């Protein structure tokens, strides 16, 4: 547009004659300018039409938003997907107006699929969000959202079909079959659902079910092969179907089509516990499989186990073991895997250590007061949670008190839990361990209550503070029922614990404290200064002692946190920053290092790449400026002379660690002898002194550094498999 025309338009605008100015711009071919002039005076219909004619669809969409013109909005939303750049601009306008669903659709059209998925999730459009995640290859996220969608509407055949496909992709054949059975009810998805069901049932070795699905499919499609193997060969290219396409034999080793068993964690009276890998969520889990006997005894065992599943699955509390799934067909329970072992493990280890030093004399060693306080308060918080749900644990003992890798304490194994509101009988009341059982639980004289669990807690507390059980056995029944209530201080404990323990161990239920909340208040009000360890000494006092050091790099509030955690005792400074400290909760050394917000982010990223041959990040506390790192045992690589076979094994482990790290999108950047620790059977790649950066920080550079550090083995030196 020439200067003269621009001057005329400007003059008309100043005079408020916008329509005439717009006509001039339109006549000169400036449709965008004309559109904006009409919009300035709320002539929305003309503004929208001119913007559309100009191909400025995002501008037209903005005008339609301002006018709340639903017809125009619908038309433009149908047009924008064919114009990705305009769609991206329009998405920003939709976001500004709070039109989340429009923004999601427009971002998907612009190719911003993950952003679209997040927007759909915020809007509650679970199917659309799942579809976007699926298209982006985020199958696990997609699967979880399809599951949520089906809980909203079990008749959504498309969601069921898509979920079935994803579950089958991860080898969850039985779960996939269930989803596909829902999809089969939708006439439009029936054929696809039946075809996949044939494959899933074949993978489960349920050949009759697979044949029945094929028969239903052939009623409408008689041209299909009549035999299952022939159908699978024609459909999937393998007569074993999807299972035959799975890598190796893994599909046949999956529990319930999902959990790959790694090894056994132990066994008890009600079943065995397995460590397994959940292929769908890529995490380690503990799977408790019930040993169901025959007859009424087996039926009672199953009912107790099913009750445990219902109770535990309904509890979400930081001091209660989390339950992910109950499979009644196994039957088995899938729980979070707690790598820190049990309180019984800790007590036994302490006893063995004291016996080796000649001080045990058959007693169970007393743990430091800092640990006792942490464990006791955690147990009581867990009991508060379960008692509020009307649940009595009934099998509280150190073997059912678990530690996470980070030292959190959680109650587990509700195999004999008693739901008060179900009015269950006392059948199986003697399932608990006798050494920890309350009198009423032994005799079955009254219904177990919260006081029954508090009695068991009293036994645990007595053992923690005195180093032995209150009743030494072997006749636990007579002792719990008839013997006087023991006094902890008469067994070597401090007097401060006497009153609370004796109240907890009262023979009559009504004589015990009324609730776990009451006990926790009294428990935490005790004097917790440890006469032997003094775990609560201030850091200033610790610094004055020989052999201890300060935390010079940590912020003052972080120093207070180390003290107040009742857990870490500083030992010495470590090269490279931070300190070596004793983690009292887990009985092992850790490294505490300072970190700012940026470094905290990097530590968290490293934590997601957790691997047996990488130094573990146990905790990151950005608020207090610290991170807790594993302090691996062993010596530096440069200090050892390794035999060829061991050197080859070390290289293989470090190569595996780097491959896992690179797969997580991280680079080490400092592979050197000082960053490797070697112990029996394990090589650990330590964190670099700072995040890898620069041109040399690449996966290829990491692998080249490994080649220089530990050359490739000859054929003779290959590590044993």
- Are 51 and 60 spatial neighbours (Cβ–Cβ below 8 Å)? yes
| Helix segments in 357-428, DSSP class H | 369-388
Asked whether the domain spanning 635-717 has the same topology as the one spanning 343-524, the reply is yes
Which run of H or E residues covers position 339? none
What ranges make up the beta strands (E) of 258-390? 259-267, 271-278, 283-290, 323-327, 332-336
For residue 573, report the phi and psi dihedrals to the nearest 5 degrees. Answer: -75, 150
Confidence of residue 700 (pLDDT cuts 50, 70, 90): confident
One DSSP character per residue, 65-83 reads HHHT-HHHHHHHHHHGGG-
Task: State how far the Cα of 158 lies from the Cα of 170, in Å rounded to an integer.
Answer: 19
Q: Which of 276-290, 387-401, 408-422 has the lowest mean pLDDT?
A: 408-422
Tally Cβ neighbours within 10 Å of residue 634.
15
Tell me the C-alpha to C-alpha distance, in Å, between residue 257 and each of 253, 315, 330: 8, 26, 12
Look at residue 79 and tell me whether its pLDDT is greater than 70. yes
CATH 3.40.1280.10 fits 3-214, yes or no: no
Burial class of residue 425, CB neighbours in 10 A (0-12, 13-18, 19+): exposed
- Are 468 and 363 spatial neighbours (Cβ–Cβ below 8 Å)? yes
More reliable by pLDDT, 641 or 160 = 160
Q: What pLDDT, on the 0 to 100 scale, is given for residue 544? A: 35
CATH 3.40.50.300 fits 539-630, yes or no: no
Tally Cβ neighbours within 10 Å of residue 540.
10
pLDDT in tens, 626-685: 888 888 876 777 656 677 777 888 888 898 888 888 888 888 888 888 888 887 667 889
| Helix segments in 170-294, DSSP class H | 173-184, 190-203, 207-218, 228-236, 242-245
pLDDT in tens, 199-208: 899 888 888 9
| Parallel/antiparallel/unpaired status of strands 635-636 and 676-679 | antiparallel
* Mean pLDDT for all residues in the chain: 78
Task: State how far the Cα of 332 lies from the Cα of 488, in Å rounded to an integer.
Answer: 40
Q: What pLDDT, on the 0 to 100 scale, is given for residue 252? A: 39
Question: What's domain 343-524's superfamily in CATH?
Answer: Transferase(Phosphotransferase) domain 1 (1.10.510.10)
CB burial readout 214-237, b (16+ within 10 A) else e: beebeeeeeeeeeebeebbbebbe
How many Cα atoms occupy the beta-carbon half-sphere of 431 within 13 Å? 23
pLDDT in tens, 281-293: 667 888 888 766 5
User: Coil, strand, or helix at residue 439?
Assistant: helix
- Are 462 and 486 spatial neighbours (Cβ–Cβ below 8 Å)? yes
The region that residue 341 occupies, defined by phi over 0 for left and psi between -120 and 50 for alpha, beta otherwise, is: left
- Are 101 and 125 spatial neighbours (Cβ–Cβ below 8 Å)? yes
User: Pick from 11, 408, 31: which is nearest to 21 by CA?
Assistant: 11
Catalytic residues: 395
Q: Which residue has the tokens 């959202």?
A: 145
CATH (one of 1.10.510.10, 1.10.3720.10, 3.40.50.1360, 3.30.470.20) for 635-717 = 1.10.510.10
**Domain chopping of the chain, boundaries:** 3-214, 343-524, 539-630, 635-717
For residue 549, report the phi and psi dihedrals to the nearest 5 degrees. Answer: -135, 170
The region that residue 361 occupies, defined by phi over 0 for left and psi between -120 and 50 for alpha, beta otherwise, is: left
Q: Which residue has the tokens 């199958």?
A: 139
User: Pick from 543, 668, 533: which is nearest to 611 by CA?
Assistant: 668
Q: What pLDDT, on the 0 to 100 scale, is given for residue 683? A: 84
pLDDT in tens, 434-486: 899 999 988 887 888 899 999 999 999 999 999 899 998 888 889 999 999 99
Q: What is the chain's alpha carbon radius of gyration, rounded to the nearest angstrom?
A: 33
Could you tell me which residues are beta bridge partners of residue 588? Answer: 583
pLDDT in tens, 326-344: 776 667 888 888 888 889 8
Task: State how far the Cα of 377 lies from the Cα of 608, in Å rounded to an integer.
Answer: 29
């Amino acid at each position: 547009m020439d200067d003269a025309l621009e001057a005329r338009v400007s003059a008309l605008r100043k005079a408020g004659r916008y329509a005439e100015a717009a006509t001039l711009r339109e006549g000169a071919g400036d449709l965008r300018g004309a559109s904006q002039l009409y919009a300035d005076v709320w002539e929305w219909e003309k503004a929208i039409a001119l913007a559309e004619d100009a191909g400025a669809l995002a501008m037209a969409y903005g005008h339609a938003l301002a006018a709340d013109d639903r017809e125009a909005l619908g038309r433009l939303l149908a047009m924008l997907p064919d114009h990705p750049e305009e769609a991206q601009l329009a998405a920003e306008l939709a976001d500004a107006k709070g039109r989340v669903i429009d923004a999601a659709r427009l971002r998907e059209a612009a190719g911003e699929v993950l952003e679209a998925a997040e927007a759909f999730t915020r809007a509650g459009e679970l199917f659309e969000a799942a579809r976007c995640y699926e298209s982006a290859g985020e199958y696990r996220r997609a699967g979880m959202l399809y599951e949520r969608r089906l809980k909203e509407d079990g008749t959504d055949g498309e969601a069921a079909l898509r979920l079935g496909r994803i579950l089958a992709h991860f080898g969850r054949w039985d779960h996939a079959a269930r989803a596909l059975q829902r999809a089969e009810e939708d006439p439009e998805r029936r054929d696809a659902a039946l075809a996949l069901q044939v494959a899933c049932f074949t993978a489960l070795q349920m050949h009759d079910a697979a044949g029945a699905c094929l028969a239903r499919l052939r009623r409408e499609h008689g041209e299909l092969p009549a035999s299952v193997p022939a159908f699978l060969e024609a459909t999937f290219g393998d007569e074993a179907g999807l299972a035959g396409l799975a890598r190796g034999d893994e599909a046949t080793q999956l529990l319930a089509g999902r959990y790959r068993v790694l090894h056994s964690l132990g066994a008890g009276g009600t079943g065995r516990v397995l460590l397994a890998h959940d292929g769908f969520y890529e995490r380690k889990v503990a799977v408790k499989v019930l040993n169901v006997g025959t007859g009424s005894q087996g039926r009672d065992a199953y009912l107790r186990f099913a009750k445990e599943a219902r109770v535990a699955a309904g509890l979400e509390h930081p001091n209660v073991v989390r339950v992910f799934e109950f499979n009644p067909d196994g039957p088995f329970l899938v729980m979070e895997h707690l790598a820190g072992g049990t309180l019984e493990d800790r007590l036994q280890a302490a006893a063995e250590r004291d016996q080796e030093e000649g001080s045990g004399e058959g007693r169970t060693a007393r743990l430091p007061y800092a640990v006792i306080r942490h464990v006791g308060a955690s147990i009581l918080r867990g009991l508060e949670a379960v008692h509020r749900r009307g649940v009595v644990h009934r099998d509280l003992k150190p073997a059912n008190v678990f530690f996470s890798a980070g030292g959190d304490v959680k109650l587990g194994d509700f195999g004999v839990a008693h739901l008060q509101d179900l009015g269950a009988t006392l059948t199986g009341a003697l399932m608990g361990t006798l050494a920890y059982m309350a009198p009423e639980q032994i005799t079955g004289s009254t219904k177990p209550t919260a006081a029954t669990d508090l009695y068991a807690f009293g036994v645990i507390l007595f053992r923690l503070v005195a180093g032995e059980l209150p009743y030494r056995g072997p006749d636990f029944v007579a002792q719990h029922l008839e013997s006087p209530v023991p006094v902890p201080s008469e067994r070597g404990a401090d007097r401060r614990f006497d009153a609370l323990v004796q109240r907890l161990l009262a023979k009559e239920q009504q004589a015990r404290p009324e609730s776990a909340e009451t006990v926790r208040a009294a428990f935490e009000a005790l004097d917790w200064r440890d006469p032997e360890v003094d775990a609560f000494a201030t850091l200033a006092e610790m610094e004055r002692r020989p052999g201890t050091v300060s935390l010079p790099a940590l912020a003052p509030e972080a120093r207070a946190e180390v003290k107040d955690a009742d857990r870490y005792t500083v030992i010495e400074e470590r090269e490279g920053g931070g300190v070596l400290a004793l983690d009292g909760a887990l009985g092992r050394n850790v490294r505490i290092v300072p970190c700012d917000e940026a470094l905290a982010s990097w530590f968290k990223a490293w934590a997601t790449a957790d691997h047996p041959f990488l130094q573990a990040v146990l905790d990151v506390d950005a608020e207090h400026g610290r991170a807790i790192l594993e302090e691996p045992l062993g010596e530096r690589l440069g200090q050892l002379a390794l035999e060829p076979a061991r050197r080859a094994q070390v290289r293989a482990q470090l190569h595996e660690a780097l491959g896992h790290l690179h797969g997580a999108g991280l680079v080490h950047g400092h592979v050197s002898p000082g960053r490797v620790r070697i112990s029996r059977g394990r090589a650990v790649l330590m964190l670099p002194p700072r995040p890898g950066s620069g041109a040399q920080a690449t996966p290829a550079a990491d692998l080249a550094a490994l080649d220089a550090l530990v050359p490739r083995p000859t054929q003779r030196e290959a590590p044993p498999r």
